[in-house]
Amino acid sequence: MATIKDVARQARVSVTTVSHVVNKTRFVSEEGRNRVEQAIRELGYVPSAVARSLQRSATNTLGMLIPNSSNPYFAEIVRGIEDRCFGAGYNLVLCNTDDEPRRQGMVLQVLAERRVDGLIVVSSGEDPALPELLAGLRMPTVMVDREIDTLPCDLVETAHMQGALLAVQHLTALGHRRIACIGGPAGVATADQRAEGWRMALAGLGLASAGLLQPGDFTSEGGYAAMHAILRQTPRPSAVFVANDLMAIGALCAAHECGVAVPDELSLVGFDDIELARFACPPLTTVAQPKQRIAAMAVDMLLERIEGRRQDVRKVVLQPELRVRASSAPYRESAA
């Protein structure tokens, strides 16, 4: 493999001159630059990213922490962030904590050792040590989707309670009055906020929520198990709000196994609007998160910090939208 000394020898210039051409750190005459660039092409020289990062104290690399790489919602967010990073000339190092808060510390250490310029973090539930860990890294950080109250850093997320209100208001407008909820993991801010939005919407209409919340874990298996529990209730709810689309797909499967027709006998509304939601059977009514805007804003806010264009903490809450499809329908007396 060609070295910088080989390039300097062939171009008949100093190693320092080659370095200035590669890193664009000082003016080099057009003739000298042309000789260096020609030598680089002929020798197939590839500059060392590690050496360049040490020289410039930057790696043009961002780190991202997500709780579950198998969840399509996070996959779609990551895709948007990668696209935005590429357009800005940055690489992305992705780490998955597999929904285990205790793994976050180890993963953050790995990212710090890779000398990333900044972090985009989706936290994994309650971890009292996380704020101190992030503060100790002393690098620009943007939280996505899940806020940590004790950590003064940038945040971009969706109005989760408002999204749940939209879902329940849609179901009540269709005439449903006994509306169950499949919630997310305990201690995860997004799950807590969506469940609270469901409760508030029912309470605002004088409808009961007691006994109608089934715990879930944001996986299709969790939604499947929770729906089986809901369908055993007497009287059975006529509609279910599910705190994410992945659980809603599992819930659809459970309803089908039990011979309960969706939406004729049971209406269902999810949350996230993952790509698979349109291809469920029936296509899933859901609350859409603006995933592309979340991704773009997370990267842009982080680059503002890295490049010194902003110092104040910024928190952005984006509004969700309801996507009405075929899994919800007007209440029918015989359905419940």
**pLDDT (tens place) for every residue of the chain, 336 residues total:** 788 899 999 999 998 898 888 877 788 899 999 999 999 888 888 776 545 544 555 788 999 999 988 899 999 999 999 999 999 989 999 999 888 877 888 888 888 877 899 999 998 766 777 888 888 888 899 999 888 777 788 999 999 999 999 999 999 999 999 999 999 998 888 999 999 999 999 999 999 999 999 999 999 999 999 999 999 999 999 999 999 999 999 999 999 999 999 999 999 999 999 999 999 999 999 999 999 999 999 999 999 999 899 999 999 999 999 999 999 999 998 655
For the chain, the C-alpha Rg in angstroms (whole number) is: 25
Same domain membership, residue 129 and residue 110: yes
Same domain membership, residue 141 and residue 88: yes
For 19, the domain range is 4-56
Q: Which residue, 323, 336, 320, is CA-closest to 170?
A: 323
Kindly state whether residue 325 falls inside one of the protein's structural domains. no
pTM, whole model, 2 decimals?
Answer: 0.82
Place of tokens 């990213």: 49
Same domain membership, residue 196 and residue 267: yes
Rounded CA-CA distance 199/265 in Å is 23
pLDDT confidence of residue 54: 45
Rounded CA-CA distance 83/219 in Å is 26
Same domain membership, residue 71 and residue 18: no
Same domain membership, residue 191 and residue 45: no
pLDDT confidence of residue 49: 55
Does residue 156 sit in helix, strand or coil? strand
Going across the sheet that includes 179-182, the strands are 213-214, 179-182, 239-242, 267-272, 285-288, 321-323
Same domain membership, residue 221 and residue 148: no
* Token pair for 271: 């949350």
Same domain membership, residue 52 and residue 10: yes
Same domain membership, residue 295 and residue 148: yes
Same domain membership, residue 275 and residue 294: no
Same domain membership, residue 164 and residue 153: no
Kindly state whether residue 331 falls inside one of the protein's structural domains. no
Kindly state whether residue 212 falls inside one of the protein's structural domains. yes
| Structural domains counted in the chain | 3
Kindly state whether residue 132 falls inside one of the protein's structural domains. yes
* Beta bridge mates, 96: 66
Of 39, 56, 73, the one marking the end of a domain is: 56
pLDDT confidence of residue 79: 96
Whether the bond into 237 is cis, omega within 30 of 0: no
Same domain membership, residue 44 and residue 14: yes
Q: Which residue, 104, 173, 166, is CA-closest to 134?
A: 104
Same domain membership, residue 192 and residue 164: yes
| CATH number, domain containing residue 43 | 1.10.260.40
| CATH number, domain containing residue 174 | 3.40.50.2300
Kindly state whether residue 224 falls inside one of the protein's structural domains. yes
